Amino acid sequence: MAIPAQVRIVEVGPRDGLQNEATPVSVAARVALIEQLAGAGIRAIESGSFVSPKWVPQMASSDEVFAGINRKAGVTYSALTPNLKGFEGALAAGVDEVAVFAAASEAFSQKNINCSIDESLARFEPVMAAAQEAGIAVRGYVSCVVGCPYAGEVSPAAVLGVTDKLLAMGCYEVSLGDTTGVGTPGSVRRLLDALVPALGHQRLALHLHDTYGQALANISAGLDYGIEVIDSAVAGLGGCPYAKGASGNVATEDVVYMLNGMGIETGIDLDALVATGHWICDQLERDNQSRVGRALSGKG
């Protein structure tokens, strides 16, 4: 299959990134980050989570974040919602889109959202119904698509099963999460060999954490299967609070640099993105995890 001419980047730094940062980030800084990302040309920004603040304190006040954003036309500002309570909060905050999140591993489902995979899918039913009534699109996530921090290897068949169910419930797209970044082009190809013929490539996205430094190679493998939606986080921020040792998502700067070199359009201004990555790292007083960000600013 020919690689895509364009890729849609879903920037998850303000959610997946900041949810795991030890330094508390003010609402004003979260809003500024989101506005800078939109200014750099990103058109899909996961901007917060409507989850229990006892479980993920970093995402508290996501309603205030949404209220503070000076929205840019053409940009989708989305949020994670694990249940109907979360969806109602997200709707009241004026989100454009929500995401429900399930896992391909029972052990991870219990640790992350305190219920089994089937129970999580049952909790999403009322979310899907309410979202449809409100005219809000729902994205799905499947975590642990190649490996689980608690249960080890995860079979492509398990991922196919839960992905198929999320699509059948009405998710317009499912993002395949390598939560701990253990995947390689070998395991990602085995996964896509199972999923793409069954589900098509158009409704699948890749969401890869870069713990083992494999994410760009894995994205390149995904492009060969026609995948045209990639999740990433500016400066490689974050991790997952329920996947110990998981580092951040692949850095958006690194993905855009690679795609530029492959002649694949994203509509993103790399220089503006690099500046945003350094800005948020200064706020967090942490090192920038983007190799491209460091190289382009002479900090490599």
Residue ranges binding Mg ion (CB under 5 A): 16
**Selected binder of ligand HMG within 52, 61, 155, 260 (CB under 6 A):** 52
* Residues 271-300, interacting with ligand HMG (CB under 6 A): none
Alpha-carbon dihedral 27, 29, 34, 39, rounded to 10 degrees: 140
Q: Which of ligand HMG, Mg ion, none sits in contact with 141, Cβ below 5 to 8 A by type?
A: ligand HMG
Alpha-carbon span 87 to 168, nearest angstrom: 19
Residue with tokens 């002479």: 298
Alpha-carbon span 280 to 221, nearest angstrom: 30
Cα distances (angstroms) measured from residue 141 to each of 159, 165, 259, 277, 288: 11, 11, 23, 25, 26
Q: Has 240 been annotated as catalytic?
A: yes
CB nearer ligand HMG, residue 30 or residue 209:
209
Q: Which range, of 31-39, 221-229, 236-244, 279-287, touches ligand HMG by CB under 6 A?
A: 236-244
The answer to whether the CB of 6 falls within 8 A of the CB of 266 is yes
Binders of ligand HMG: how many residues, by CB under 6 A? 26
* Residues 122-161, interacting with ligand HMG (CB under 6 A): 141, 143
Q: Is 98 buried (19+), middle (13-18) or exposed (0-12) by CB count in 10 A?
A: buried
Shortest spacing between CB 69 and ligand HMG, in angstroms = 20
Task: Answer yes or no whether residue 174 interacts with ligand HMG by CB under 6 A.
Answer: no
**Selected binder of ligand HMG within 18, 25, 42, 51 (CB under 6 A):** 51
Of 144, 148, 240, 281, the catalytic one is 240
* Residues 102-121, interacting with ligand HMG (CB under 6 A): 112-114
Task: Answer yes or no whether residue 222 interacts with ligand HMG by CB under 6 A.
Answer: no
CB nearer Mg ion, residue 90 or residue 145:
145
The answer to whether the CB of 11 falls within 8 A of the CB of 237 is no
- How far is it between the farthest Cα atoms of the chain? 50
**Selected binder of ligand HMG within 8, 43, 85, 189 (CB under 6 A):** 85
Determine which helix (DSSP H) or strand (DSSP E) holds 174, and give its type and residue range.
strand 173-178
Alpha-carbon dihedral 88, 91, 97, 102, rounded to 10 degrees: -10
Q: Which of ligand HMG, Mg ion, none sits in contact with 155, Cβ below 5 to 8 A by type?
A: none
**Selected binder of ligand HMG within 14, 17, 82, 147 (CB under 6 A):** 82
**Selected binder of ligand HMG within 9, 13, 14, 16 (CB under 6 A):** 16
Alpha-carbon span 54 to 195, nearest angstrom: 35
Buried b (16+ CB within 10 A) or exposed e, 200-212: ebebbbbbbbbbe
Give the residues lining the site for ligand HMG (CB under 6 A).
16, 19, 49-52, 55-56, 80, 82-83, 85-86, 101, 112-114, 141, 143, 177, 179, 207, 209, 240-242
Give the residue numbers annotated as catalytic, written as ranges. Answer: 240
